[in-house]
Amino acid sequence: MEKIDNGAWFIEKVLPSVFAALTIGAIFSGFATYHSVQALSSRIEHHEKELISLKVRIEAVSSTSVTRTELLETLKRVELQLHLVMAEAGVRKKIRIE
């Protein structure tokens, strides 16, 4: 009877299966990582487009809205005009806006 060398048996029988399993695992891990990166890239592109759209909408609203300073200036002009009209009409009462 031949003496079985445990080291040779391990190298010939077990090691190829272990390497094959590790290789297959690495390949599937690579595919999963690639798929995840593609999904994240797609989401990032979608969010970038959405941000650009929102930025355009904000700029449109900002350009058409009245700022606080502009509103105060307009109110002052109206108040001044009202005082002038009241002075021409001879009205001396002070008007309060509540």
For residues 10 and 38, membership in a common domain is answered with yes
For residues 72 and 43, membership in a common domain is answered with no
For residues 79 and 89, membership in a common domain is answered with yes
Structural domain harbouring 88: 66-98
Convert the pLDDT of each residue in 23-33 to its tens digit. 999 999 999 99
For residues 43 and 57, membership in a common domain is answered with yes
Convert the pLDDT of each residue in 61-89 to its tens digit. 888 888 888 889 999 999 999 888 888 88
For residues 17 and 56, membership in a common domain is answered with yes
Q: What does pTM read for this prediction?
A: 0.51
For residues 53 and 84, membership in a common domain is answered with no
For residues 78 and 44, membership in a common domain is answered with no
3-state secondary structure the chain: CCCCCHHHHHHHHHHHHHHHHHHHHHHHHHHHHHHHHHHHHHHHHHHHHHHHHHHHHHHHHHHHCCCHHHHHHHHHHHHHHHHHHHHHHCCCCCCCCC
For residues 18 and 44, membership in a common domain is answered with yes
For residues 19 and 31, membership in a common domain is answered with yes
- Number of domains forming the structure of the chain: 2
